[in-house]
Amino acid sequence: MVIVRAKDYQDMSRKAANIISAQVIMKPKAVLGLATGGTPVGTYAQLIDWYKKGDIDFSQITTINLDEYRGLPKTHEQSYWYFMHEQFFNHVNVDESRINVPDGMNPDSEKACREYDNVIREAGGIDLQLLGIGVDGHIGFNEPGNAFELETHCVDLTEQTIKSNQRFFGDGESVPKQAYTMGIKSIMQARKVLMVVNGKEKAEIVKKAFFGPVTPEIQASILQMHPDFTIVGDEEALSLI
Ligand code: F6R
């Protein structure tokens, strides 16, 4: 585990973007596992900036996103497909045919999950998986207590996750109760894992997850066992370690 200390959110974003950029320069056909949420937005913005300056070319990469709400169409502003296009894909030269996000509208959840596992396998596995972390230690939508052995699966979201995501939905519009997520097994198979984390509300979970016991109650704690795991955190998030 490598811990990179950043001064603030912007510094964290730039350092993370540097690592992703190095991956893409060294392997133009890289398979990038991507995350949504607030934390990586600055990382995407930095990558877009470098793309516009001609410093990085995404034309040959494949992207595989971690998760998607079940029941939201791509066109819904809160779908992760929509988020990724708004925050990143629409601004760079990623080939649309190599963008992968779980299909939230597939009514056959078992089939949707197995198809997604095949997408990962056929791409040759993930070279670099970008992650954020929830205050309860979730990664993707892998909630506390989930088995570590799972590949892509459908989850019932916890009250905590529903509550913290409610801010993104309009008044009177409820957060979906289920989501598709890559499992811990799929994440652990990524050749490199990069976590971005910022803010003091994440300090406690960073300490528990990476300096406490490995337990399914804190899903991210399994990353202690990953052979190539880097955390880029700002001062606040790393203040207790
Ligand atoms: C999103 C995802 C989630 C987030 C986590 C942190 O694709 O996988 O696990 O990374 O909920 O979210 P933020 O960054 O909004 O604090």
Q: State the Cα–Cα distance between residues 123 and 204, nearest whole angstrom.
A: 36
The response to whether residue 39 sits with its C-beta less than 6 Å from ligand 1 reads: yes
The CB-based long-range contact list for 104-107 (8 Å cut-off, 24+ gap) reads 104/68, 104/69, 104/70, 104/71, 104/72, 104/73, 104/74, 104/79, 104/80, 104/179, 104/180, 105/71, 105/72, 105/73, 105/74
Tens of each residue's pLDDT in the chain, 241 residues: 999 999 999 999 999 999 999 999 999 999 999 999 999 999 999 999 999 999 999 999 999 999 999 999 999 999 999 999 999 999 999 999 999 999 999 989 999 999 999 999 999 999 999 999 999 999 999 999 989 999 999 999 888 778 878 888 877 788 899 999 999 999 999 999 999 999 999 999 999 999 999 999 999 999 999 999 999 999 999 999 9
The response to whether residue 67 sits with its C-beta less than 6 Å from ligand 1 reads: yes
What CATH class is the domain 2-234? alpha beta
181 CA: nearest ligand 1 atom: 8
- Which of 12, 13, 39 gets mutated to test ligand 1 (max ligand atoms within 8 A of its CB)? 39
Domain extent listing, the chain: 2-234
How many angstroms does the Cα of residue 201 sit away from the middle of ligand 1?
A: 13
The response to whether residue 66 sits with its C-beta less than 6 Å from ligand 1 reads: yes
The residues annotated with a catalytic role in the active site are 67, 136, 138, 143
Q: State the Cα–Cα distance between residues 47 and 150, nearest whole angstrom.
A: 31
